[in-house]
Amino acid sequence: MKKFLGALMVSSLVGLGAFSTVNKAEAASLTIDPTYTFLKTYSDATYYQGVNTVAGNTKAISLADLGLKGGDSINLNISGMFNTSVWNPGQTNDMTIGVFSTSDQLLDTSSEKRVVDSVALNQQDANQYSYTPNTWTSNTLFDSTAFPDSTFDSGKNAYMCNGANLSDPNRTCGQQTFFDGVFGIFRETTLTIPTTAKFLFLAVNDIFYSDNTGNILVNIDKTGTVDNQASVPEPNAVFGVLATIALALKMKRKQQTAK
């Protein structure tokens, strides 16, 4: 009888302890529209085969809705490719960019830092995935200002960059569109969500968006938590375990009384 009671209590405690494990389930599978962006644009519109397409605004993704929070470790995996131009459908790309934020606020397309409450990755992840002006830069192809070596395009009502300036990261024509906190997703990326982050913005990596076609699929899997916080068990499960322990103790007291 003693062995039975002991086994019953131990199994109950083990069952309670099992709730401390981290759930490693897939959080989401998201489709990214390649014509949407959180970067700065200017007159980003394409007229093709009678259809006028304008670059859209990236929608903020709530981490809470995905069952995620700051401190969680996640894996982002990309599948599919998008066409970078309706005029040249063979020009494809599969790279995606993202930025975490403490809010879902996105400024209008004329702002350089449109995600006003963006937060940077931790230093280790930033060294692998972050974009800075010193490592890689994306610039708009046009601007509202007549910079040197630019030509006015009446169709876009903007000044277009010319010649070699298009591939020169130091060119004065065009404006830098990346800002601190933006990171790249290279097919598969594993990183830690910043502790204060509440939202995630995703977009394809490009400099002109309205002429893109296709879509990119991003799978987000939760792989763990940095602080190893225990998940909270359902109340009914807790009461069940406690009731089992109480029953075992009651049976033990009755056994002692009978003796």
Terminal CA-to-CA distance of the chain, rounded, Å?
A: 13
The boundaries of the domain holding residue 160 are: 141-174
For residue 12, being part of any structural domain is answered with no
> What is the average per-residue pLDDT within 64-93?
92
Q: What is the pLDDT of residues 146-180, one digit of tens each?
A: 877 788 877 667 787 776 666 666 666 666 678 88
For residue 16, being part of any structural domain is answered with no
Instruction: Please check whether residue 222 is in contact with residue 68, taking contact to mean a CB–CB distance below 8 angstroms.
Output: yes
> Residues 86, 165: one domain?
no
> Residues 101, 36: one domain?
yes
For residue 46, being part of any structural domain is answered with yes
Q: Higher pLDDT residue, 242 or 50?
A: 50
pTM: 0.71
Structural domain count, the chain: 2
Q: Give me the pLDDT at residue 242, please.
A: 56
> What is the average per-residue pLDDT within 129-142?
67
> Residues 32, 160: one domain?
no
**Separation of alpha carbons 210 and 132, rounded Å:** 25
Hey, how many other C-beta atoms are within 10 angstroms of the C-beta on 216?
A: 24
> Residues 148, 204: one domain?
no
> Residues 80, 157: one domain?
no
For residue 236, being part of any structural domain is answered with no
Q: What is the pLDDT of residues 204-245, one digit of tens each?
A: 988 889 999 999 999 999 998 755 444 445 555 545 555 555
> Residues 116, 35: one domain?
yes
Cα 134 from chain centroid (whole Å): 23
Cα four-point dihedral sign 97, 99, 105, 109: negative
